With several copies, the nearest count.
Chain A
Amino acid sequence: MKVSPARVWRARGSRYRLEGSRCRDCGFTFYPPKPACPKCGSRNVERVQLPPRGRVVTWAVQYTVPEGFRSRAPIVAAIIELENGVRVLGTIVDVDPSEIRDGMTVEAQLRRVAEDGDEGLIVYGLKFVPAPRG
């Protein structure tokens, strides 16, 4: 994908720090952050920090990957339900895909996620890893 410093900078809250939005009217909290509430339409929303830990709701092990991601295949995509109930679509790394289980606890960490060719910007973002017990 095309990358630019402004584009990467804009996503810093959601992609580096797992920020979402919370609706002050109906209380709905969601990810990624948006200027209005998807549930009630209110514009009275605020940025909130989401908890980094959650449990796997469903996952996919992806062998066919888009151009530029060949070195990362297979990619494990998953829906994670964070500790406050907010769901986040992300990838799980540092685990053998066959060991992923329903309800498995994972934790977000900042990682390298993509490069804009050999000489372009490097994009960072959150990936989920199996959480240490406790």
Chain B
Amino acid sequence: MRRVFVVGVGMTRVGRRFDKGLGELAAEAIFRAIDDARGARPEALVVGNMMASSLFNQDNLGALVADYAGLRGVAAYHVEAACGSGGHAVVAGYSLVASGLYDVVLVVGVEKMCDYPTSVVTAALAQAADAEHELVYGISFPSLNALVMRLYMKTFGASREALAQWPVRMHEYGSRNPYAQLRFRISVDDVVRSPVIADPIRLLDSSPIGDGAAALVLASEDVARKLSDTPVEVAGVGMATDSVDLSSRMDLLDAPSVRLAAEKAYRMARVSPRDIDVAEVHDAFTVTGLLCLEALGFVERGKAWKEFADGRFGPGDKPSVNLSGGLKARGHPVGATGVYQVAEIAMQLRGDFPGVKAGSPSIGLAANFGGVATQTSVVVLRR
């Protein structure tokens, strides 16, 4: 297997970007990633996106983004895995380099969600659910996660206030990340009194709606040295699935797709959960952040809420988690999120992440999923 390195990263600040369409916004992140990789010339492009089809009537997205970024002609395709599209695009891009097909591959995640009213975005997000047996009843994506949150709290005895520690800490980190959508601090009180979206999920348990794009330049070993002084190795990748419908899940408090994807990535990188210094996990909602910590093996089942509320997983801890502010505060432009995560971990390992730093980490991890842990990608990076 050829070794693959991240040699360039680029992000846009998540937020309302009424000024740019899908192609222009993706190009903005791509230009930054290419500049960061000393003007690398990508031979192929993988685009992670969920909603271009349902909100913008735009397919053929790989070609569209290539052309808008001045890369007309390169190989390209679009990867969809709902809110996990970005992370899966990274794995797809990884395999294009590792296979020997291409030496330099660009991965970009892009999503535009702010153009439309919340009800329209809610309908588009619900496409992550089973259209025939969930979406048809008007059940929203937050609602599916609320089912899990209520069960988590009851089963493990977690209090509302304890869970609120997650968004509080995320906003704390986000306030120091220049790319974050929500750069203000909040209190436990703010969380538990914020408007109810899908009881027990409140507004501040939920990631915001935002536009954003993030890009990576991946390169093979020999090329990587020319494009970067601080290449970060993609040491392990894994992907796994669960059912789309929640009805037939074996255990709603397990996240087997996260567990299986992580096992594969750990095995490939020859590391264990204890070796991870810094991680970005998929906290689309408070409860999914907690489930990630458990399924990734950072903490025992049912204990993430307690250990997190007690202060674990902060900067310097092993691992420190979501120093970007996570989906909660950095933002969650759904199909782009997984690429943001890998870019942030790469920067933490290079030492130039512009927000809260993890210290001097050498191994990092990004976990991104579509649906309620329906399909997960895990990427392990090494300095």
Contacts and interface: CB of A to CB of B under 8 A. Distances in A.
Interface of A: 1-2, 4, 6-7, 9-11, 14-15, 30-32, 34-43, 57-70, 72, 75, 77-79, 87-91, 97, 102, 113-114, 123, 125, 127
Nearest to A23: B70
A66 B198 CA distance: 12
B147 A79 contact: yes
Nearest to B145: A60
A57 to B, nearest CB: 7
B115 A77 contact: no
B37 to A, nearest CB: 15
A125 B136 contact: yes
Contact of B147 (A70, A78, A127): A78
Given A15-B133, A43-B31, 14 more contacts: A4-B115, A6-B18, A6-B115, A10-B20, A15-B136, A32-B130, A37-B70, A60-B146, A63-B197, A64-B118, A64-B197, A67-B117, A77-B198, A89-B139
Contact of A75 (B56, B57, B68, B139): B139
Interface residues of B, number: 63
Contacts of B20: 10
Contacts of A68: 119, 123, 138
B319 to A, nearest CB: 30
A2 B147 contact: no
A2 B68 contact: no
Contacts of A40: 70
Q: Which 9 A-B pairs have the closest CB atoms?
A: A36-B70, A60-B146, A69-B138, A66-B123, A41-B70, A61-B199, A62-B198, A58-B151, A62-B143
Contacts of A62: 138-140, 142-143, 146, 197-199
A102 to B, nearest CB: 7
A91 B132 contact: no
Nearest to B130: A32
Interface of B: 18-21, 23-24, 27-28, 31, 55-57, 67-72, 114-120, 122-123, 126, 130-140, 142-144, 146-148, 150-151, 154, 195-201, 243, 245-250, 252
Given A10-B21, A65-B122, A38 B67 contact: yes
A60 B199 contact: yes
B135 A64 contact: no
Contacts of A36: 27, 31, 68-71
A28 B288 CA distance: 27
B138 A89 contact: no
B138 A91 contact: yes
Contacts of A14: 132-133
B76 to A, nearest CB: 14
A87 B136 CA distance: 18
Contacts of B198: 60-64, 77
8 contacts: A2-B57, A36-B27, A36-B68, A61-B146, A67-B119, A68-B123, A79-B252, A113-B136
B204 to A, nearest CB: 14
Given A2-B116, A61-B199, A66 B140 contact: yes
Of A38, A43, A65, A87, chain B has the most CB atoms within 10 Å of the CB of A38
A123 B131 CA distance: 13
A91 to B, nearest CB: 5
A60 B150 contact: yes
A43 B272 CA distance: 36
B252 A77 contact: no
B291 to A, nearest CB: 14
A1 B135 contact: yes
A127 B114 CA distance: 29
Contact of A10 (B19, B117, B148): B19
A37 B198 CA distance: 32
A63 to B, nearest CB: 6
Given A58-B148, A65-B119, A72 B138 contact: yes
Given A61-B196, A88-B247, A102-B154, A34 B68 contact: yes
Contacts of A87: 247-249
